[in-house]
Structure 1
Amino acid sequence: MLNIVLYEPEMPMNTGNIGRSCVATNTRLHLIEPLGFKLNDKMVKRAGLDYWPHLDVTVYSDFKDFLEKNPGARPYMATTKTTQVYTDVHYDPDCYIMFGPESRGIPEELLIEDPERCVRIPMWGETRSLNLSNSVAIILYEALRQNGFEKMNTEGHLHHLQWK
């Protein structure tokens, strides 16, 4: 099972959207405090819709607490401060992918501890960053694709197909 780690997320709507994506992909969500909102915030619930009660989520008091409770975890870290593109790495089926707070990203002191685990999403021109929930979806689905979308429903059916 893949793991999404949000380091000090600030916006409840993003976390709600990410929670919904985690439920849809059977992915665990890890939240590292401080959070910029309360988990019972109506904006989190609204964005997560009726999926939120089905979310596998754990909250940690800080990054040290996260590492202590997930021994051996070496998360990939999404950042604009690297040249390695997110599609250039191999994501194991149980890996951790970490994203920083919306306003500032993952602190550089964490990035420099494991620079080969830093990945970026390419962007045009001088664009600073993408929305957090979009960034999570992009990298999460790349990790799922690399692992063959294991146990995921990959087929849909048109109910009223009419050819003219």
Structure 2
Amino acid sequence: MLQVALYEPEIPPNTGNIMRLCANTGCPLHLIKPLGFTLEDKQLRRAGLDYREFADVRVHESLEALIAALNNPRIWALSTRGTQNHTEAKFQEGDVLLFGPETRGLPVAVIKELGVDKCLRVPMLPESRSLNLSNATALVLYEGLRQQGFPGMA
């Protein structure tokens, strides 16, 4: 199964929508601190509806803690700075899709640490700044699941 990780997420409704996405796909959701909200935030609960109880949500103190907890997984960074389209990646079981905070994206240092070759982008018009975080997550996650034949999904 693919895994979704949000690096320092800021906007509760986006995380709630992604929580719902992960609940419906069976993919774990990893939240990397600091969070811009609490897990009890009313907007988070509203966006996630009653899916919180069905989502596998794990909170990590840092990116390093996530990497250690998952035993050094392959991580794909998603950024407008990406060098290849998300459809060009060959996703594998256990891969982590890492998305940055809504207002600033993944830090350049994180992208460099993971490797520029592991930095993907979602195609859009050149003058566009970015997509909504939950929309981008859905696009990339479903491409990865499509490549794997939608495991366990009907």
TM-score between the two structures when normalised by the length of structure 2: 0.97
Structure 1 residues without counterparts, runs of 5 or longer: 154-164
Give 1:143's aligned residue.
144
Question: What is the alpha-carbon distance in structure 1 between the residues aligned to residue 92 and residue 82 of structure 2?
Answer: 21
Structure 2 residues without counterparts, runs of 5 or longer: none
Shift of 1:145: 0.3
Shift of 1:112: 1.3
Question: What is the alpha-carbon distance in structure 2 between the residues aligned to residue 139 and residue 125 of structure 1?
Answer: 19
TM-score between the two structures when normalised by the length of structure 1: 0.91
Q: 3-state SS of the aligned residue for 2:66?
A: helix
1:12-161 to 2 correspondences below 5 Å:
12-113=12-113, 114-153=115-154
Q: Runs of 4 or more off by more than 6 Å in structure 1? A: none
Question: What is the alpha-carbon distance in structure 2 between the residues aligned to residue 28 and residue 134 of structure 1?
Answer: 17
Aligned residue pairs, count: 153
Q: 3-state SS of the aligned residue for 2:146?
A: helix
Letter in 1 for 2:60: Y
Letter in 1 for 2:76: Y
Q: 3-state SS of the aligned residue for 2:20?
A: helix
Q: RMSD across aligned C-alpha pairs, in angstroms? A: 0.8
Deviation string 1:17-65 (CA, Å, 9 cap, x unpaired) is 0000001100000000000000000111110001111110100111121
Give 1:158's aligned residue.
none
Question: What is the alpha-carbon distance in structure 2 between the residues aligned to residue 60 and residue 131 of structure 1?
Answer: 23
Q: Is the 8 A contact 2:83 2:117 kept in 1?
A: no
